[in-house]
Every structure is written in structure tokens, then in C-alpha cells.
Structure 1
Amino acid sequence: MSETESLLEFPCQFPIKAMGKSRDDFDAIVVEIIRRHVADIREGAVTTKPSKAGNYLSVTVVIEAHSREQLDAIYMGLTACPDVLMAL
């Protein structure tokens, strides 16, 4: 899909969610991967939520997205990480 066919208008605020097994540094792993593609992650842009049983952790990072290619690169980086079970 070309950028002209995209439903998103860039730049825009875009939430990226990654889920993995609950561990102390999972949020730092997710943020480090996203930082490779985003120059500025604002304070308060990262939220975490444990699963009911506490076995998994969901990390949401709201970024200012500049292109579909940037988002694709972020998702490719997240899904390539063995600690990330799912990225939305």
C-alpha cells in the first residue's frame, strides 16, 4: 500500500503495543527497539499493564509517526525480538 492509499495522515500520534512474558526489563526492551526508529519518546508516552495472572506484560508506547515505512520498521524490529510475543 502506498502512502497515498494509507488511512493515516502523517505525522500523527500512533500507539504501538507489544506483549511478552512478564519480566522486569520488558518495557525497556520494547522502548529500546522503538528508539531505533523514533528520535523522541515523550515522558508519559510509555504505559504498562500486566495480565490478570501476572504472567504477561503489555507495553504501549505512543509515538509521533512520520511514515508507513517508519511504522513497518518498528513492527519488524519488535517481531524479530524473541522476548516480544505479539506486536499490535
Structure 2
Amino acid sequence: MEASDHPTDDFPHTHHVKAIGQNSDLLAAVRQAVAMHAPELPETAFSCRASREGRYLAVTCTLEAQSQAQLEAIYQALRSVDGVILCL
């Protein structure tokens, strides 16, 4: 299979990054981490959903990824955010 057979290898493309954690300030921390690598994102690019019991918060960021390197940098930044337990 050639690289062109994999749509996720083609950039730019829309990508959804999700961070899940317990930190009550998780949204602000995720915005700050992502902004280092995608500073042009509006606040509307981020959405939150609390778990059923409210213990966890999932923050989803929708962005136009420019490269694999950019995505890797974003995921690395999110893994270093205090309170993040999972990145998808």
C-alpha cells in the first residue's frame, strides 16, 4: 500500500484530539498546551463533556492538522498537562 492509500497520512486534514482527566482546570490547561502548536485555534475548537458522575472531564479539540510532527507535538504537550490521564 502506498502512503496515499491512508487518508490520515495526507495533510492538512481535520483531526480530533481528546484529553481526559480529573483536573477541574483541564479545559484551560488543554487550551494552553494546544496553543503552543496551533495558536490560531478559536475557543469554539474546544468542547467539554463531564463523565456521568462528574469525576472526569473529556476535552476535545478539533483542528486542521498541518503535519504528523504537529500532531505528535500536541499529544506530547497534552501528556505533560497536570491531571491528564488519557489522550486519544
Alignment TM-score > 0.5, same fold: yes
Residue in 2 that maps onto 1:17: 18
- Structure 1 segments of 4+ aligned residues over 4 angstroms from their partners: none
How many aligned residue pairs are there? 84
Q: Structure 1: where are the runs of 5+ without partners?
A: none
TM-score (norm 2): 0.86
CA drift of 1:60 comes to 0.2
Residues 23 and 84 in structure 2, CA contact (< 8 A), matched pair in contact too = no
State the alpha-carbon separation in 2 of the partners of residues 57 and 43 from structure 1: 17
**Per-residue deviation, 1:26:** 1.0
AA at the equivalent of 1:68: Q
* Higher helix fraction (1 or 2): 2
RMSD: 1.7
Tell me the residue number matched to 1:86: 86
Distance 1:70 1:22, change over 3 A: same
Alignment of 1:59-78 (within 5 A): 59-78=59-78
| TM-score (structure 1 length as normaliser) | 0.86
> Structure 2 vs 1, CA of residues 82 and 56 (structure 1 numbering), >3 Å: closer, same or farther?
same
* Alignment deviations for residues 23-74 of structure 1 (CA, whole Å, 9 cap, x no partner): 1x21010010000000211342111000000000000010110000100011
The structure-2 alpha-carbon separation of the partners of 1:31 and 1:43, relative to structure 1 and needing over 3 Å to count, comes to: closer
The match for 1:31 is 31
